Chain A
């Protein structure tokens, strides 16, 4: 039995659970639905292209050449921030591997003691005291972990995200710990860009109308009408959003916490994460350390088994002897239940039984206890503002 198993290099992003899409071999990470993101790109690039085509030549000559230059700089900054927000890992927490999940289950069972038959077991909650405030850590049935404080499970991306703010369809990604500052800078710079284009559109129309009359101006530069319309409606939504997030940053709160009213002050509950100082809060959120991604997307999977049945081009790179490797491969029958269980048949006798027992029922667990209402943090601030936005 000397089957030659040749495996191709598989990167870890290919086997990550969750509903993300990856591009550029794992360098780019986004949500599945990207339609609204393309719309955002189209609106920004389209409006700026019209501005550069119709207004800039006139303004550069009649007012100052720095006007288009500054517009270009601002446009590039907006695009950089948008792409950075959309393409980066928001702070996804990797799911627990089977042994860790089993360990936690055993701890929970030990803590709950004996539940009388027929009664529902108590909710899985851990209490932690942070800054003299009791914070409840909830258990995530999908990721099989107790969520860290401020983390939340995004039902759209099916991941637990650290310091979860909201899922933003306009950027096509979740906004969390790692990309919140880029998101904020995007909304702020977009507000500035919108105000800038709107102002200079008006200036341009006024200046030209003085010479040639209002209707002639509109005939000569039809793009202006479109730009003004887009900018007018964008202004209300984006400036409002920037203001809202500035307020949240000054209090060191997330959109999710604000919507759920976690630190609203009822029952003397206060935000334990706030430094009680506006400047310190801003500095922490915007200028704090840049957290690296804990999801190893581009690492190579340790291939103990072939990815697919067909032989691939590179020879097996792991040091396991070929014959043993072949035997293991032939033993493997089904695809893993949970995508990150890449070696499901290796469970040791002590843990195997309980792991197998726990893995399958948990998969069918009803979504009710699992996730906080994530459609609402995403929908509410965006939807109410989006009503104003036209396209």
Chain B
């Protein structure tokens, strides 16, 4: 019996929205040309309903530059059949650049720090910090990447902030669109 918990457990708060989107992607992928999409959708929904998680890959942090947030760009072998090495590396590079932007030590961050100190940090009750703004940007980027690149290949990127900025968790779903598995 398929256990709903499995898929729901795969991602935490990000779940419900994208689960439907993910199912849609799978349905779209499964529609053969010429067949009415509604029929195919019902048919596929019953079959696919909840794509089963096959395994997870964890991209670890790269501490060679110190304690700043960077992830290894080495392409995991488990993703080889599904994804291009170049696309993966581009995603990771962009994420690394975004985190570097968040943690940059420069005039702007110093100014923010000094201003906050002068107000005894009460200014953060009304203002968002630079880091938080960039984190929101990162969340949007990951959602965008999931929609465009990863979901069509049966993969799902988890935002590292949900794992304490320790790993990028990539969930690999069983490939049902071909119909050969299970």
Contacts and interface: CB of A to CB of B under 8 A. Distances in A.
B162 A292 contact: no
B102 A289 contact: yes
A154 B124 CA distance: 28
Interface of B: 3-6, 8-9, 12-13, 15-16, 52-58, 61, 63-67, 102-105, 109-110, 112-114, 116-117, 120-122, 124, 129-132, 135, 161-167, 169
12 contacts: A100-B169, A145-B166, A149-B67, A287-B117, A289-B129, A290-B112, A290-B131, A320-B4, A324-B4, A328-B3, A342-B9, A343-B5
Interface string A335-373: 000000011011010110000000000000000000000
A269 B162 CA distance: 35
Select the residue from B15, B110, B114, B120 with max chain A CB neighbours within 10 A.
B120
Interface in A62-117: 76-77, 80-81, 84, 93-94, 96-97, 99-100, 103-104
Contact of A128 (B56, B57, B64): B64
A84 B121 contact: yes
A291 B167 contact: no
Given A103-B56, A288-B109, A328 B63 contact: no
B1 to A, nearest CB: 8
B155 to A, nearest CB: 15
Nearest to A344: B5
Contact of B13 (A137, A300, A304, A350): A300
B13 A81 contact: no
A185 interface: yes
A287 B109 contact: yes
Contacts of A318: 8, 16
Contacts of B5: 304, 328, 343, 345-346
A289 B105 contact: yes
Given A148-B61, A290-B116, A343-B5, 11 more contacts: A76-B120, A93-B164, A94-B164, A149-B63, A149-B66, A283-B110, A289-B130, A290-B113, A291-B131, A299-B12, A318-B16
A302 interface: yes
Interface string A308-325: 000000000011100011
A272 interface: yes
Nearest to A135: B63
Interchain residue pairs A-B with the least CB separation, the first 10 = A287-B113, A346-B5, A94-B164, A80-B120, A294-B164, A343-B5, A287-B110, A128-B63, A343-B9, A290-B129
Contacts of B114: 287
B9 to A, nearest CB: 5
B67 A294 contact: no
Contacts of A103: 56-58
Contacts of B63: 128, 130, 135, 137, 148-149
A245 interface: no
Given A80-B122, A289-B109, A93 B166 contact: yes
A294 B64 contact: no
A346 B9 contact: yes
A388 interface: no
A93 B161 CA distance: 11
A292 B132 contact: yes
Nearest to B102: A289
Contacts of A351: 55
Nearest to A346: B5
Contact of A292 (B109, B129, B166, B167): B129
Contacts of A324: 4
